[in-house]
Structure 1
Amino acid sequence: MAYADQQMSSRRVVALILVAALHALVGYAFISGLAFNVIKKVAVDTKIVDVQEPPPPPEQKPPPPPPDQKVEPPPIVAPPPIVQTQTLTPPIVAPPPPLVQAPVIHETAPPAPPAPRISQAAGAKGDPSQWITNDDYPPGAMREGREGTTRVSWTINEQGKIENCQVTQSSGSPDLDETACRLLTRRGKYSPAKDQNGQPMRSSASRSIRWTIPKD
């Protein structure tokens, strides 16, 4: 019984294989035949169409020229009248007369009178050496032992008096210089100088005073 079942199973397998092979063969034949029919159908339906280009259009002749038309010239228009303007002539201005300069009169001053010159010198009245003596020595300068020489100048007026006494060289001690001018102005007397006409006139004089402390 088992042997019979085994034999039946083998036959069934072989039958199934054959059936499958048959189906495959039929499917292949069907597919191959269908593809051939489709290709044949497409080949039959495809037609070659020869497309021809349309012929070029005929050449068009240019239109004939228009007939000659007479062009009338524009009407002649007269130009406007010329308006003449009056040109004003500028007035002629005469040049101004030349300036006449008045003559310059240089007034000359009359010549100054000649300066008076001394015809007669002033003369001292008395002994000029006595106008300042050792008794007039300033006490301060004597105590301090200061000595020196004072140079002075002065003016003699028309009355013979001494004016404007000035120290031209100092002794180095202001009190000695001041004493010299003060005593000369107070004690000095002159006869005034005279010009060429015999008139009194101013003059000047100068001297040196030597200040020396007296020795006992």
Structure 2
Amino acid sequence: MAYIDHRTGGNQRVVATAVVALIQGAAIVALINGFTVKFFKPSPPERTEAAQIPLTPIPLPPPPPDTTLEKPIVEPRMPVPDVVLTPRQIPADPISLPPIPDFPPAPRADPIPQPSPTQTFAPRAAKPRNAPGGWATTNDYPARDLREGNQGVTRFSLAIDANGRVQSCTVITSSGHPGLDQATCEKVSRRAQFEPATDGEGKRVASTYTSAIRWRIPQD
């Protein structure tokens, strides 16, 4: 009996040792898992497009009606009376017009012969051939007027014929001294020479010539 008790006590001791070992192993595994969860927390999974939250558009209210536009004015339509057109009666026979008479041909006018153009010349006045300054000089001074100291200007007009000769002399403006006026016409009529004047056809014609002589006593 003593042998049997000793054997049974040994088996219990083995079972108790195995249970303690299992408990210690479970505690170790639990500690390891706890540290792993605390210090090595896994990162959250990435969100895909399918996992995003869909957005629903919010409908906007319609705009209020524009009350500023004027309503079109509708004019009342006036009744239009019916117009009845009566067809115009057209005569069956056409209207005959009288024949147009034949007019005689217009008379033919012969051209009027034009006179042949003639050569024209510009009229030309009488022109002195010699110098007018030599027609009267201080040497021609009348002695009486020279003694009396008479001086002045005599204006004269000459009548010239178609050959250029002086026909007459007329005093237009007197010098105030008859001796000086008379000496003027005497000297000029004798010494003046002219080319005769011509008309529009180039023919020589009579003309006049006007000039003046200043009588002045020379100073010694």
Give the TM-score of the pair, scaled to structure 2. Answer: 0.44
Structure number with bigger Rg: 1
